[in-house]
Structure 1
Amino acid sequence: MRAPLKTGASTLSGLQSVAELLTTPSPASPLLSPRSRRRHYGTLHVPLSEIQRVSRTSHVSVTATFLTALLRAFADYHQHLASSHDQLSVALPVNVRSRENHTGGNLFAPVRLAAPLSPAERPTDALRVTDHLLRSVRGNAALQLFPALAPAFGLLPEFLLQAGIRRIGSTVDLIASSNVGPAHSLYLSGAQVTSALAFGPRGTTACITTLLSFAGTCGIAYNLDPRAITDVTYFDHAVRRSFAEYLGVEVLDPLGGAPRRG
């Protein structure tokens, strides 16, 4: 190593940039601040072709359409409970793999952003606002450092790492993750798999929602804290209503619509 001091300072600066990207506080909603270990699960199905059509027409990503519909549901919920808070603290995984990187496994970096709860009146404008926000976050230079610097976080004591994760999670209102699944039907022991859902680990956040495409359908599953989102019945309807309005289609619940709590 020709310049160890310079290299060490550069590494430390990179670690600080990545840490700031992960920990910079977003204006979390006071309405959603209570936390518990209880769980409530919700599911819905929407056609992949429709969410792609809306995204293509508005010149935005599928993730932007997915997140915009979620933000509309959260805005509806806040209005229902007379909260004037106008931003949501959102975390989402971002793919940081370059085209030149052909190694196996996932290569995602978690990022945080402050998303508006009062979207533009026209759906197209709201979609573009969210898409611009996502593009701005993806353009953060610290993201490019994450693959090289992430192993350094593994050197931290486990208790310190867990405490940090819990602290960060408690200031996040929503984790949103969209994933590409198999494009064709699958069979298990001769029986056709009719749907696929991914329930993510919520940790200390208020809600985690995951979109998983599978054989022409998008399965959307969320795991929320009923102490943070107290009127779960209204929220369930708000989510379905929001996706139905943005996509212009009937939204189905693959699990039958009965409340699911834990």
Structure 2
Amino acid sequence: MADNNPFVPPSAVDVDLSAVAWGANRTMSDFETGMWRMEEAQPQLRSPIVAVEVLDQAPDWDRLREAVEWASHVVPRIRMRAVEPTLNLGNPVWSVDPEFDIGYHLRRVRLPAPADFDHALRMCRHLATEPFDKARPPWSALLIEGLDDGRAVFVVKTHHSITDGMGGIQMMTLLHSRRADPTPDKPDRTPPPAEHLSSIGAFGEEVIGEIRRAPSRVARLLRGVTNIAATAITQPITTTTEVLDYANSLRRIVTPPASSGSPLLRERGLGRWFGTLEVGVPELKAGAKAAGGSLNDAYVAALLGGFRRYHDAFGQSVDSVPMGMPVSMRTGSDPSGGNRFAAVRFSGPISETDPAKRIRQVREIVLNLREEPALDALDLAAPVLARLPNQLLASWYLSQSTGLDLQASNVAGVPVPVYLAGAKIERMFPFGPAPGCAVMATLVSHVGICCIGINIDTAAVTKPALLMQCIQDSLDEIVALGTTAEGA
């Protein structure tokens, strides 16, 4: 579920460096540590976030290199690698790579003729499936030139431990400009000095950090206990009710969806297939409004309708599929970067053939999920999970994620035209990680267009092009609801 307020990037010359605190934490959170480590034991759990930008022309290469170099000054995390403490006793520490080289992370390639967007997208997919070199900062970028129509593609891959989807959008906008011309007078920072942090040094930082954090943690704990005790004495019925409500919510959050996985999508593997869809924001909103739902409700309903069509094509009848959805926990006061989301799971209804009824079904489910008191359960459990042996943590997570046939994410995008080193960004397609699930769908709005990226496990979905056509047909059906309502 997305933050409904789109991020409007400032002009590069107007960037307030004092307000840029993207990825300010020196140490990975417990949740990020889990994502970082468990893929060592299970390659299926690799979690890259991939952004694919379609440009109207090839950008100026020198300007692009300078823009990325500038961004690495403004956001030091771009220049940092993760250093594991000795024996993994603590969380990884972000440290400036003493051998940081823009040329290693930012590359360019020209496709041989003939070449179209599908050729470029296949190259993006290959980039996404390559594991990171964890001795270096975990990100890479590639400019793909040579498309027959003169366009170009810029793809950026970052590890999920660096940021979630919204943080990724915030980082990407640092490379964007509100104008095509260069901005020579934009503010800058001195790049952070190289560090030679060792595993022992990282362990020492973790120990000192824990000592420094202990008093505030104890104080928060005591305040919490005091408040609970006071409430329990003065309002015993209210306290008991809240505890029971949280316990029931926790049970709903941790219990797997009632529906079992589709027999058609049972297999899991390492193969990936990228597909894209697009629909106008006004058109999708109109279809949603006609059924009494939001844009997000219509988007999820379209995915589920596409799943029904795909199953029908194989003669399979399935009432629902287990699915997951990230819920943004960001507030206006949260710094950029990092990971601030919770994950919910539920049974996604796919048997309903009426798109309006399906939208209303989704809306009821989503509204109930937003009100769950225990949405933060995974974050609370993260300190324990991060201390598990890698193999045990990976096995537990894989047992949870492989039970999902679909994950759907919706991230607010950029509502105004932006440029990358002189080239206009026409589309921005997001591809979220699919660690163990059959299909991961992500929507980002870009200048009035819903750009949808579909990350498909080809072991689960044996005919990905058919699934994409099924989802497109379902989107068209929902857009038709709005057209019909306007003509009535």
TM-score normalised over the length of structure 1: 0.81
Correspondence for 1:206 among 423, 438, 442:
438
Specify whether residues 237 and 119 from structure 1 end up closer, same or farther in structure 2 by C-alpha distance, changes over 3 A only: same
Residue 128 of structure 1: aligned partner: 360
Are 1:96 and 1:108, in contact at CA under 8 Å, matched by a contact in 2? yes
Specify whether residues 212 and 22 from structure 1 end up closer, same or farther in structure 2 by C-alpha distance, changes over 3 A only: farther
Correspondence for 2:449 among 201, 205, 217:
217
Specify whether residues 233 and 120 from structure 1 end up closer, same or farther in structure 2 by C-alpha distance, changes over 3 A only: closer
Residue 92 of structure 1: aligned partner: 325
What pairs up with 1:1-262 in 2 under 5 angstroms? 1=222, 18=250, 21-22=253-254, 24-27=256-259, 28-97=261-330, 102-105=333-336, 106-121=339-354, 123-143=355-375, 150-248=382-480
Q: CA deviation at 1:161?
A: 2.3
Q: Secondary structure at the match of 2:374?
A: helix
Are 1:196 and 1:212, in contact at CA under 8 Å, matched by a contact in 2? yes
Are 2:305 and 2:353, in contact at CA under 8 Å, matched by a contact in 1? no
- Structure 2 Cα separation of the partners of residues 194 and 65 of structure 1: 24
Are 1:23 and 1:168, in contact at CA under 8 Å, matched by a contact in 2? no
- Structure 2 Cα separation of the partners of residues 108 and 162 of structure 1: 20
Letter in 1 for 2:335: G
- Structure 2 Cα separation of the partners of residues 143 and 49 of structure 1: 31
- Structure 2 Cα separation of the partners of residues 192 and 173 of structure 1: 36
- Structure 2 Cα separation of the partners of residues 175 and 84 of structure 1: 20
Q: Secondary structure at the match of 1:103?
A: coil
Structure 1 residues 159-214: Cα deviation after superposition (integer angstroms, max 9, x where no partner): 33222221111110001001111111110111111100001111111010101101
CA RMSD in angstroms, aligned pairs only: 3.0
Structure 1 residues 192-245: Cα deviation after superposition (integer angstroms, max 9, x where no partner): 111000011111110101011011111111011122111223212111111112
Structure 1 residues 13-66: Cα deviation after superposition (integer angstroms, max 9, x where no partner): 979965862452442212111111111111011111111222233331221110
Letter in 2 for 1:80: A
Letter in 2 for 1:179: V
Mean alpha-carbon deviation: is it higher for 193-202 or for 24-33?
24-33
Q: CA deviation at 1:96?
A: 3.4
Specify whether residues 75 and 148 from structure 1 end up closer, same or farther in structure 2 by C-alpha distance, changes over 3 A only: same
Specify whether residues 62 and 155 from structure 1 end up closer, same or farther in structure 2 by C-alpha distance, changes over 3 A only: farther
Specify whether residues 97 and 146 from structure 1 end up closer, same or farther in structure 2 by C-alpha distance, changes over 3 A only: farther
Q: Secondary structure at the match of 1:102?
A: coil
- Structure 1 Cα separation of the partners of residues 393 and 248 of structure 2: 15
TM-score normalised over the length of structure 2: 0.45
Of structures 1 and 2, the larger Rg is shown by 2
Unaligned runs of 5+ in 1: 250-262
Are 1:175 and 1:208, in contact at CA under 8 Å, matched by a contact in 2? yes
With a CA cutoff of 8 Å and minimum separation of 6, indicate the structure with the bigger relative contact order: 1
- Structure 2 Cα separation of the partners of residues 104 and 92 of structure 1: 23
Are 2:349 and 2:358, in contact at CA under 8 Å, matched by a contact in 1? no
- Structure 1 Cα separation of the partners of residues 279 and 377 of structure 2: 36
Q: Secondary structure at the match of 1:36?
A: coil
Aligned length: 242
- Structure 1 Cα separation of the partners of residues 268 and 378 of structure 2: 30
Specify whether residues 46 and 150 from structure 1 end up closer, same or farther in structure 2 by C-alpha distance, changes over 3 A only: same
- Structure 2 Cα separation of the partners of residues 93 and 62 of structure 1: 16
- Structure 1 Cα separation of the partners of residues 381 and 395 of structure 2: 20
Unaligned runs of 5+ in 2: 1-221, 230-241, 482-488
Are 2:430 and 2:453, in contact at CA under 8 Å, matched by a contact in 1? yes
